[in-house]
Amino acid sequence: MQTNRLDAQRLTHTYGEGNSAAPALADVSLTIGADGPEAVAIMGPSGSGKSTLLHVLAGIIAPADGRIVWRGRDLATMRDGERTRLRRSDFGFVFQSGQLLPELPAIENVALPLMLGGGSRSAAEAQAGTLLHRLGLGGMLARRPGELSGGQAQRVAIARALVGQPGIVFADEPTGALDRSTGDAVMSLLIGATLGHGASLVVVTHDPEVAAMCSRVVRLQDGRIVSDERAAGDGWPQTAPAGAERPAATTPLGMGVPVAQAALPQHPSYGAARAEQRVENPMTAHQGWIEASR
């Protein structure tokens, strides 16, 4: 079985040339998913290279130097078409906003990647509908993006990122356009659903509360990694959201994010959390997804 492991080795990238050259990445190495799915936050000041790193990891930008190895294959050895197909089949993407096609209803937006991959419309829409139901949007399949709230639109975007069963999901400020409680709910859902599909999540964020929900935080400064921290011991992060309760010792990685009850997804794995008005720890919620996806 292929493991969803991504190796970045000594990545360097500079935009422009000569006097206008802007170094964006310098000697960045990291491995994602070596020990199973993980949620990795990429943090750092504005201009530190976060988005560039995400785009290089995802094979959207070719690094000036260094290698990206996905499931044992160097992306640089692939032809452009093969890399494009790989991005469609193995990688999922969630951006801040504006990624859904405005003229298509939610179900078609989610089905689209499968149809582009050669799937039939009926099979693609059946799969898309199942996923949207799981994400609590069963009543909104026919709505176009303009008829959805920001949080609902991001849940559709999460469904679209996951529908092709990717091995890794890349997200660039996925909650940047949402208010705090909607953003927390969307982030919990993104982590739980991505890990539940057996994929890792790499998320660029400025928000320490978003980073605190992840199992690992990589910090950049001037294009270099200055720290790479995993949640220690029982996983309780240093920067836990204010008001979050420390979980029972049996919880492998514990975070609780208060959210409005209405924002919680309609999914069995969130049942207990719904009763407590608190999103279940996203790092353990994925177990429910695994069971529900079987």
Question: What residue ranges bind ligand ATP (CB under 6 A)?
Answer: 15-16, 22, 24, 44, 46-52
Q: What is residue 21's three-state secondary structure?
A: coil
- Residue among 44 and 66 whose Cβ is closer to ligand ATP: 44
Q: What is the C-alpha to C-alpha distance for residues 154 and 145, in angstroms, rounded to an integer?
A: 10
- Residue among 24 and 30 whose Cβ is closer to ligand ATP: 24
Q: Dihedral sign for Cα 121, 123, 126, 129, please.
A: negative
- Residue among 42 and 213 whose Cβ is closer to ligand ATP: 42
Q: Which residues pair with 70 in a beta bridge?
A: 6, 73
Q: Give the length of the chain.
A: 294
- Residue among 162 and 225 whose Cβ is closer to ligand ATP: 225
The type of residue at 33 is G
Number of other residues whose CB lies within 10 A of the CB of residue 191 = 28
**Min separation Cβ 96 and ligand ATP, Å:** 10
259 in Cβ contact with 270 (< 8 Å) = no
- Residue among 5 and 13 whose Cβ is closer to ligand ATP: 13
**Min separation Cβ 60 and ligand ATP, Å:** 12
**Min separation Cβ 148 and ligand ATP, Å:** 25
**Min separation Cβ 10 and ligand ATP, Å:** 17
**Min separation Cβ 229 and ligand ATP, Å:** 18
**Min separation Cβ 183 and ligand ATP, Å:** 17
First to last CA, the chain: 17
Cα distances (angstroms) measured from residue 227 to each of 105, 205, 283: 42, 15, 22
- Residue among 44 and 247 whose Cβ is closer to ligand ATP: 44
The conformation of residue 101, written as its DSSP 8-state character, comes to -
287 in Cβ contact with 252 (< 8 Å) = no
Q: What is the C-alpha to C-alpha distance for residues 121 and 111, in angstroms, rounded to an integer?
A: 8
**Min separation Cβ 20 and ligand ATP, Å:** 8
- In sequence order, the 6+-apart residues with CB closer than 8 A to the CB of 254 are 234, 235, 236, 246, 247, 248, 281
- Residue among 51 and 293 whose Cβ is closer to ligand ATP: 51
